[in-house]
Amino acid sequence: MKIVTHLEDTEIQKLIEDTFEANYLHLLNWLNKIVRNREDAEDLCQEAFLKLFSIVCSKNLRGIRIVDIDQYLWKIARNLLNRYKKKYDKDSQINIDLDRKINIEEINEEDRHNDNDNLKSKLRKAISQLNYKHREATIMYHIEKKSLKDISEKLQVTEKYVKKILYESFDTIRTNYQMDNYETEYNYRPNYLKMAFSGEKNKTSDLKIISENLTKQNICIACYKSPCNIDDLGKILGIPKSYLEYDLKWLHERVFLKKTQNRYSTMFFIFDNIFNSMLINTFIKHKSCLDKIINKLIERKESIKSINFIGSDKSMEKLLWFLIYSFTDLTSSLIIFNKHDFNYDNLQRIKGRKNYTIGIYDTGKTIPLNPLFVDKYNDMCDWTVNGTHNYKNSQYELNWINLFNENMLQNKKDEILPYTQIILKSKEVICKSINNNFNFMYLSAKEKIILNQLISLDFLSLANDGKTIIPNIYVFTQKQRNDLINIYLEIFIEMKPYLNKLYSDIDKICKSTIPSQLHADLKYYSYFAMMFSHLFTIGFAYYDGKIYKPQNAYDALCLTVNITKKDKTYENEKYIVKLITDNY
């Protein structure tokens, strides 16, 4: 007779191992004789040992004695068998439901206690220590309640092999469990945080380092909504404190985390599914405002074309890609200036950087989307925005948004996106080539290669004389750009009440979802969210048939690229501020 009370972890482990070795085959054969189904018998036997493990741990924590553990095991097995037989009697089919789960929630009421939370976290910790296939199979089967067939398809193995690794997982959990009294969702699978930025590119590789380090990513996610100390993080992530110390120090030194009284808070915006869903619903709600932007640009077709900038001879359907992008880019700034006397220099940036760090996090959770979006515009979720790009030197300013949908990409994303990098790296060559006195003979060998690539992508064309470069993008003098801004301002004044309502709703989303440690820069995040108006306006126009539909992604590459030639009086931001001052 084995009396169980007040045992150490290692003693419990040894006790369960001894009980398993002494009873497993006898119990399995007995169950098999009764149910006459080897697989069901194995499931029942496995469940009996798991329940025994759960109950022993729970009772031991509370100092309750189990007089005879072998007898207790057989009692558990008999109760499971009675449940099995009741289920079988109700179901005339031979294939009894095998969809059982780890019995955290099914422990008998007499064995429930507040300390059972401790048991849950021990099992979660044990699951997190399994190898990939064993862990995924265990999570999908016991927690996500997936069928053996679904698991086998997901893992690309047979159902028989799934059963084998499920049993092996149980055995590993039974023998190698870890005591931990904190319930956490992170232990099952690590979360992934994609790193991006808004603004000028950094010379350092900090974002790349975070992108390649799951621990750093999960620390940032865990500290985003509420501050955590190192003990909290150890429990949440299931990682020993000794392993967290270096990553916390690294993130804190680079101001990705802020430390206040030994608690850490994430100091950059994380764009997640909830925020994205709320943003989609807001733009759908204000679709009439975005439609007005398109219509008012079309109404001013003749005024726009009369500016006579390079590219103004293109069809209005093609011009609208650039016009929508540049108008919404400008008006997002106008709304912020008007509302907050917005000034980039007043915003707090990490360590004086000229950009904002942004994390992109798939939480797996969302909120219901507007039915109009689901029914008509859901494909907009498949659009790829490869960033808004800006390049300035003393002579030129280049702006471009790289926007595709899956139909344009035609499953050639890996082929297309490298070309966007070519364009980004060739911005200086583009600016040189539009100069009236340009002679490609003065280009370096490397620049000539880039020039040929730009010609092949139809960004530029070579005239019949073999020397003159003809831009296929939009090129403005400073006066032409200012003339276009004046037209935009006319539209903006007419649109101001509608844009203010849109901005007000976006601002509410930011205030309600962005944590308090980032509220000092709340204006910027509202501006960032407002900038998505170009994506939704172009997207709505695309699906409503109002703008040109590129034949493929190559055709779409240069639809928004525009260059302004600066003159000696060029001060674009001051010009915009003057316009606002004169008109409000």
Residues 60 and 170 both lie in one domain: yes
pLDDT at 102 over 50: no
Domain presence at residue 3: no
Domain presence at residue 186: no
Give residue 450's pLDDT: 74
Give residue 259's pLDDT: 93
pLDDT at 575 over 60: no
Give residue 107's pLDDT: 32
Of 250, 267, 284, at which residue does a domain stop? 267
Residue type, 259: K
Those residues with Cβ within 8 angstroms of residue 349's Cβ, 6 or more apart along the chain or in another chain: 199, 355, 356
Work out the pLDDT band at 74, boundaries 50, 70, 90.
confident
Domain presence at residue 513: yes
pLDDT above 70 covers what percent of the chain? 69
Work out the pLDDT band at 175, boundaries 50, 70, 90.
low
Tens-place pLDDT, residues 126-162: 676 677 788 888 888 877 888 888 888 888 888 888 8
Higher pLDDT, 274 or 128: 274
pLDDT at 420 over 80: no
Mean pLDDT across 369-395 = 73
Higher pLDDT, 66 or 182: 66
In whole angstroms, what is the distance from residue 531 CA to residue 388 CA?
10
Number of domains in the chain: 3
Work out the pLDDT band at 98, boundaries 50, 70, 90.
very low
What size, in residues, is the chain? Answer: 584
Mean pLDDT across 437-461 = 72
Higher pLDDT, 572 or 552: 552
Which has the minimum average pLDDT: 210-219, 269-278, 302-311, 406-415? 406-415
Work out the pLDDT band at 571, boundaries 50, 70, 90.
low
Mean pLDDT across 287-314 = 93
Work out the pLDDT band at 549, boundaries 50, 70, 90.
confident
Mean pLDDT of the chain, nearest integer = 76
Domain presence at residue 379: yes
Higher pLDDT, 218 or 13: 218
Domain span at residue 249 reads: 193-267
Tell whether pTM > 0.85: no
Give residue 374's pLDDT: 74
Residues 199 and 325 both lie in one domain: no
Domain presence at residue 424: yes
Residues 171 and 250 both lie in one domain: no
Give residue 220's pLDDT: 94
How far is the CA of 121 from the CAs of 180, 184, 294, in angstroms? Answer: 6, 7, 55
Residues 462 and 317 both lie in one domain: yes
Give residue 104's pLDDT: 32
pLDDT above 90 covers what percent of the chain? 19
Residues 161 and 222 both lie in one domain: no
398, 431 Cβ separation under 8 angstroms: yes
How far is the CA of 408 from the CAs of 249, 382, 549, 550, in angstroms? Answer: 44, 11, 9, 7
Work out whether strand 474-477 and strand 562-565 pair parallel, antiparallel, or are unpaired.
parallel
pLDDT at 60 over 50: yes
Work out the pLDDT band at 114, boundaries 50, 70, 90.
very low
Give residue 579's pLDDT: 56
Long-range CB pairs of 16-21 (<8 Å, 24+ gap) are: 16/49, 16/52, 16/53, 16/56, 16/174, 16/175, 17/174, 17/175, 19/49, 19/52, 19/69, 19/70, 19/73, 20/49, 20/174
Of 141, 176, 211, at which residue does a domain stop? 176
Give residue 442's pLDDT: 65
229: domain CATH number? 1.10.10.10
Domain presence at residue 561: yes
Domain presence at residue 188: no
Of 213, 235, 267, at which residue does a domain stop? 267
Give residue 2's pLDDT: 44
How far is the CA of 273 from the CAs of 81, 91, 138, 359, 386, in angstroms? Answer: 44, 41, 26, 12, 19
Residues 550 and 421 both lie in one domain: yes
Domain presence at residue 83: yes
Where is mean pLDDT largest: 36-50, 367-381, 485-499?
A: 485-499
